[in-house]
């Protein structure tokens, strides 16, 4: 990013210990709370994923393809919560380290 944009991407900042005003600290606190409130909405695609994979399995051209879709369904069910947790923690950690 160009410095004039006043945009710093997470993970691309220099961790400089800059004293922040109380207003800035409050703004950061509100942004963090907003992030934590809104972040679960980013996982909405999981809601329909099982049904979509089932539909694809139902329309599969072979038993092998159908089994691959069912395997994907099982794997996603097993790791879905872990994906959500790790992604959320990664975002929050980057935010907090900023």
Pick from 12-16, 27-31, 92-96: least confident: 12-16
Round to whole Å and give the CA distance between 13 and 67: 45
Tally of structural domains, the chain: 1
CA–CA separation, 76 and 60 (whole Å): 19
What are phi and psi for residue 46, nearest 5 degrees? -65, -30
Say which DSSP state 24 is in. H
Q: Is the dihedral of CA 68, 73, 77, 79 positive or negative?
A: positive
- To the question of pTM greater than 0.75 for the whole model, the response is no
Residue 35 has pLDDT above 80, yes or no: yes
Q: Which of 1, 92, 98, 94 is nearest to 40 (CA)?
A: 92
| Residue 16: per-residue pLDDT | 59
Q: What range defines the domain where residue 47 resides?
A: 3-97
Looking at residue 1, its pLDDT comes to: 38
């Amino acid at each position: 990013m160009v410095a004039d944009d006043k945009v710093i991407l997470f993970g691309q900042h220099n961790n400089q210990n800059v004293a922040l005003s109380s207003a800035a600290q409050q703004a950061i606190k509100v942004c963090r709370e907003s992030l934590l409130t809104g972040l679960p909405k980013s996982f909405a695609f999981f809601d329909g994923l099982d049904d979509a994979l089932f539909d694809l399995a139902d329309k599969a051209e072979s038993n092998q393809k159908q089994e691959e879709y069912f395997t994907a369904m099982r794997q996603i069910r097993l790791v879905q919560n872990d994906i959500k947790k790790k992604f959320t923690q990664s975002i929050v950690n980057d935010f907090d380290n900023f």
